[in-house]
Structure 1
Amino acid sequence: MTIAPGNARQGASPLYRAMRDFVQSVDDSLPGKLEITKEGIVHDMMSPGGPHEVTAAHVSRRLERVMPDELLAHNGTPDVEDEPEGIMRHPDVMVIAWTDLNVEGSIDPRTVIAAIEIVSRSNPDNDWVTKMRDYPLMGIPVYAIFDPRTGEGAVLTDIHPTPAGPRYATRKDFVYGEDVTIGDWTIPTDDLPLYDKGSGEQR
């Protein structure tokens, strides 16, 4: 849900900075996560734990089993920020080098090798629509989506220019149970949890 609409575009850095200051001041006191998009501040009401967090942990661990030691599949803080674009995102998992993570403040999106999102029940368009737009704008070369609502996902790559701005040119869909390639690494997707259609709990 967008709770603070605005025009966080290039040239509007005072507005973007005001939104960023607001997000940082309340981020620890609200459930879910707050991010800044082109439309303003988005509040994604993720449920703590459950299929969302379990999926992120599985994906992170499976990637780290096959990646070189100098990389990690990080699912903690900080944010990934592109101030000129007016975007601040917080991927559920990001593939990044240890040296690029070892910085003060936000992560430079152009050091992120891949961003991975687990679709939330409360705001699926945040992952399937706005992040599909924002991540190529930020220069993140690979975007992978895992959707516990349906047991499906997609990997988007090959940023190319369009009249609406940079977009991913290639999309490879997958269903849970298939192997999926994220960047240079292939992992299984079996045994990932799904949202229960009634209660929102893991099944």
Structure 2
Amino acid sequence: MTVAPHRAGHDAFQYQAMRDIVARIHDGVPGKLEITKEGIVHDMMSPGGPHELTAARVSRRLEKVMPDELLAHTGTPDVEDVNEGVLRHPDIMVIAEADMEVESAFDPRTVVAAVEVVSRSNPDNDWTGKMRDYPLLGIPVYAVFDPRTGEGAVFSDIHPTVHGPRYATRKDFVYGEDVTIGEWTISTEDLPRYPE
């Protein structure tokens, strides 16, 4: 749900005002707050078991096949590009340990891949909003796991369009198949689904 909708894009003053609002209310509201070109997005429900278990299993599987200097990080902080006016929090970020040695938000251009587990309460945030924002932020690979359907997709190859940078390549998968995220292939066996 977009809480503070705005015309496409905002200036530095508006972004800082939204950033201040998010910082002030972050601990007092359930769910997750992010800033997009359209305004503040609030995913009202805190992630439940299937969401968190999917993120944990995907993270662990990635870390087993990646080099030691990379992590499939599931914690904080966010990724932020002040110039673009975007603050996002991927469920999993593939990032070098060295690039995590910062005091504030991660530079999104250091993120090797972003992985999202689709939220039951706000699926458009993962399938639409982040599909727009992650290439804008320069994140080269974006993987989506959808526990609602047991399917997903991996997006890559950022290219310019009249609407801004977009991913040119989409590779769909269904749970049970192996999936390649960046240079690493993992199993999607035994990933939980949301209850009907």
If the length of structure 1 is used for normalisation, what is the TM-score? 0.94
Whole-angstrom CA distance in 1 between matches of 2:55 and 2:81: 23
Whole-angstrom CA distance in 2 between matches of 1:7 and 1:97: 35
SS at match of 1:2: coil
Query: Counterpart of 2:104?
Result: 105
Superposition deviation, residue 7 in structure 1: 4.1
Query: Counterpart of 2:186?
Result: 187
SS at match of 2:87: strand
Consecutive unaligned residues of structure 2, counting only runs of 5 or more, are: none
| Equivalent residues of 1:156, 1:172 under 8 A apart | yes
CA deviation digits over 1:37-63, x for unaligned, max 9? 111000012344310000000010000
**1:53-132 → structure 2 map (5 Å cutoff):** 53-132=52-131
Whole-angstrom CA distance in 2 between matches of 1:17 and 1:143: 27
| Equivalent residues of 1:9, 1:84 under 8 A apart | no
SS at match of 1:106: coil
Instruction: Find out whether 1:147 has 2:151 as its counterpart.
Output: no
Identical-pair percentage: 74
Query: Counterpart of 2:12?
Result: 13
Consecutive unaligned residues of structure 1, counting only runs of 5 or more, are: 198-203
Whole-angstrom CA distance in 2 between matches of 1:132 and 1:48: 20
| Equivalent residues of 1:115, 1:142 under 8 A apart | yes
CA deviation digits over 1:110-163, x for unaligned, max 9? 000000000011110000011001000000000000000000000000000111
| Equivalent residues of 2:44, 2:121 under 8 A apart | yes
Whole-angstrom CA distance in 2 between matches of 1:147 and 1:85: 27
Whole-angstrom CA distance in 2 between matches of 1:195 and 1:45: 17
| Equivalent residues of 1:8, 1:15 under 8 A apart | no
Whole-angstrom CA distance in 2 between matches of 1:96 and 1:148: 24
CA RMSD of aligned residues (A): 1.1
Matched residue type, 1:99: A
Evaluate the alpha carbon distance shift between residue 144 and residue 121 of structure 1 in structure 2; reply closer, same or farther with a 3 A threshold. Answer: same
